[in-house]
Structure 1
Amino acid sequence: MSTLMEQASEKEIKQQQDIHTDEELEIDLMDLLRKIVSIRKSIYKAAGIGLLIGIIIAISIPRKYTVEVTLSPEMGASKGGGLSGLAASFLGSGVTMGDDTDALNASLSADIVSSTPFLLELSTMKISVSKDENMTLNAYLDEESLPWWSYVIGFPSMLIDRINSLFTEEDESIYSGKVNQRIIELSKKELKKIETLKKMIVAIVDKKTSMTSVTVTLQNPKVAAVIADSVVKKLQEHIIDYRTYKAKEDCLYLEKLFKERQQEYYVAQKKYANYIDSHDNVILQSVRAEQERLQNDMSLAYQVYSQVASQLQVARAKVQEEKPVFAVVEPAVVPLYPSGISRKICVLVFVFLFVCISVFWKLFGEKLQNRLEEIRG
């Protein structure tokens, strides 16, 4: 009986405590609301300042448009049953071409797009900015606008570079060929543009599906679409050139060998025919022996010539077979709306930020400042 009475009393105490806590919370919230209402003029001023600064920042930030192209490249696989295998089965004679594993696959697309040689080649391409104006991508980058604070922050470094340029002569960029190794020399200006292109042009490869997404972000929507399409085409050309390089080299070597063996066969055939014509009515053992020798030479030359011709046909089929197939899932589409944070959201963020700062300062900051002054005093 006593335990039941104790449990009932504990429940009543808890209920009273909860009611008391709710009353205190309501009082605190009402007190906080009264304080906020009392400083409404400061809040209005802060909102106005945030609105003004937000509008200035939103207008200063140039609009950018993003174009994304998605493609699905062919995965590397064994090609024994492809065109080269079909050609070998028709030609017979054990003609085969070795199946090599691909050293360059779809997973390296992101590294290729961000590589300096790829971006250097891309920066020299001609783009149509308007109906009557064509320029290189390198020249277009100079025309893209920057927010005013970028010039303010970068002014000291620009001034130092100008002063240094008066005393030193800056060499133009040199794109050297293969001497001992591939070397690229860039000026500071060109290096800066390459770094800018690396930020504007991004390729992402999904490891699970091997889908490659190429994203280009520029201030001109049409130029962004053109560059995105060009990046995909150059990426395809780069991979195709690499994949077919070995097969093309083999094909060129076999074509040269084919012409040599063909000429040898024609020479042996001509010698045999001339000898037969000149010794048609002569019946001597030495003549027959020489005739048989020339005939064997001609047959041997023909066998070698025929085998090289078969290998050449297989090599030509392998060049076509080595070309990877790229299925463009999402082509380059000219965007209608800018990407990133909209100007309205930017303005609202600044208004909210300044209002929060004003409320915090009026409610807590001034009290904290007064206490610190009292402690110091």
Structure 2
Amino acid sequence: MIELFRLLRNQRRLIAKITGGFLILGLAIALFSPVEYTSEALLMPEMKSSESSAGDMLENYGGLLGLGSMGSMDLSKEGTIAPEVYPKIVQSLGFQHKLLNQDIYFSKLDTTVNGYNYFEDIRNLSLFEILLEYTLGLPSKIRSPEPPAPLPDWLRKEFDEAAVVELADDELEIIGAMQERISIELEGETGVLTVKATMPDAIAAAQVNGTVINMLKEFVKSYSTQKAKEDLVFAETQHKQARDRLEEVQGELASFLDQNVNLATAKSQAREQRLQAEFDLAYNMYNNVSQQLMEAKMKVQEQTPVFKALQAANVPTQKSKPQRILILILSFFAGLIASFFYITGRNIYDNVSRQL
């Protein structure tokens, strides 16, 4: 250790030169890196309990509504999405493709364009990004793989509209860059969602963050209530048919009673009994279908997720990147480490060469 300390002390000028070079490089990176702003929002998604408040309400007040017992009603948690899946939803290609087609206002440019047009045509690369693109990114520019053939029309028709996403290489590249700009994290202990969006413009960052939150809400809501809404449409159809049948039988019974006030013959009495039986059957059917309709409506309400905004998407006032002080500190220590390994490595090489 003493010899090593003496070696480093004797080479302090070289250490200073190497560290100074790293500091200059770090200063260039700090000055020429693009400025970015990060908008942050906090959400508290609803946690579904094992007991259904909608089911309890119908159980308590179903008799008053004339709907009978609600004991058989089951408002379970089917179709719900766990908050742990939300990051996967946001990072999916379909979600990102839809997000990049949304209009974004950039205050510095005083223009409104969608994400694809901004990153493809409007955004100017910084000097540091240009250097990276034509150094580390040069191999990807040299190789030009053949683009895949588009889906034929007959095959596309067989897929659901949302089942297949066809994207070009430049679109995939922009989506990859956008995926790095958006993050969503779930805090396991509290269940709070932290949603962040980073953009070169402060207002655009807040707008993108708000758009991500709204799209996520709509996706989760649509998924969670899809089955319940289909059941509601079916219940409404059955309810309309039962009501029309009840009104039809009720009209026939009323017309018959108006025309046969005294009911003197056995034939008239038999017809009255038959019409009355049909009316009772239609009335009971109408009550049962009304109960199912109420259950379906409450199921939709119960399955609709709720997001409480603990903190709305803010417009950042301070830039999040580049962190110039941190870059300079890291450059300084990187220079020290590089000079240490260079000097010790060269000294070991010289000693081995003398022995040989």
What band does the TM-score fall into relative to the shorter chain? 0.7 to 0.9
Matched-pair contact (CA < 8 Å) for 1:107–1:210: no
Deviation at residue 375 of structure 1 after TM alignment: 4.4
Match of 1:124 in 2: 101
Supply the distance in 2 between the matched residues of 1:331 and 1:64 (Cα, whole angstroms): 20
RMSD: 3.4
Supply the distance in 2 between the matched residues of 1:118 and 1:177 (Cα, whole angstroms): 21
Matched-pair contact (CA < 8 Å) for 1:84–1:321: no
Match of 2:256 in 1: 275
Q: 1:77 aligns with which of 21, 40, 49?
A: 49
Q: Rg larger in 1 or in 2?
A: 1
Match of 2:286 in 1: 305
Instruction: Tell which deviates more after alignment, 183-192 or 119-128.
Output: 183-192
Change (3 A) 1:310 1:169: closer
Match of 1:97 in 2: 73
Q: Which amino acid aligns with 2:133?
A: Y
Supply the distance in 2 between the matched residues of 1:345 and 1:214 (Cα, whole angstroms): 24
Match of 1:4 in 2: none
Supply the distance in 1 between the matched residues of 2:4 and 2:271 (Cα, whole angstroms): 122
For each residue in 1:348-367, what CA deviation from the matched residue of structure 2 results, as whole angstroms up to 9, or x when unmatched? 443454466557756x5654
Match of 2:130 in 1: 148
Match of 1:18 in 2: none
Q: 2:91 aligns with which of 114, 117, 126?
A: 114
Is 1:134 the equivalent of 2:106?
Answer: no
Work out the number of aligned pairs and report it. Answer: 343
Change (3 A) 1:236 1:280: same
TM-score (structure 2 length as normaliser): 0.82
Report SS of the residue matched to 1:182. coil
Supply the distance in 1 between the matched residues of 2:152 and 2:197 (Cα, whole angstroms): 25
Supply the distance in 2 between the matched residues of 1:99 and 1:178 (Cα, whole angstroms): 34
For each residue in 1:61-101, what CA deviation from the matched residue of structure 2 results, as whole angstroms up to 9, or x when unmatched? 21222222221111111343325445535334124532222
Change (3 A) 1:315 1:88: farther
Report SS of the residue matched to 2:64. helix
Q: Runs of 5+ in structure 1 lacking a partner?
A: 1-23
Report SS of the residue matched to 1:184. coil
Instruction: Tell which deviates more after alignment, 208-217 or 44-53.
Output: 44-53
Deviation at residue 289 of structure 1 after TM alignment: 1.0
Match of 1:319 in 2: 300
Change (3 A) 1:365 1:310: closer
Q: 1:207 aligns with which of 180, 188, 191?
A: 188
Change (3 A) 1:85 1:120: farther
Question: RCO higher in 1 or 2 (8 Å CA, sep ≥ 6)?
Answer: 2
Give the fraction of aligned pairs with identical amino acids, expressed as a percent. 26
Supply the distance in 2 between the matched residues of 1:361 and 1:291 (Cα, whole angstroms): 109
Structure with the bigger percentage of helix: 1
Change (3 A) 1:90 1:106: farther
Match of 1:294 in 2: 275
Written as runs of structure 1 = structure 2, the 5 A alignment for 1:142-181 is 142=120, 143=123, 145=125, 147-152=129-134, 153-161=136-144, 171=150, 179=159
Supply the distance in 2 between the matched residues of 1:186 and 1:239 (Cα, whole angstroms): 24
Deviation at residue 332 of structure 1 after TM alignment: 1.3
Change (3 A) 1:106 1:354: closer
Change (3 A) 1:173 1:374: farther
TM-score (structure 1 length as normaliser): 0.78
Q: Which amino acid aligns with 1:66?
A: T
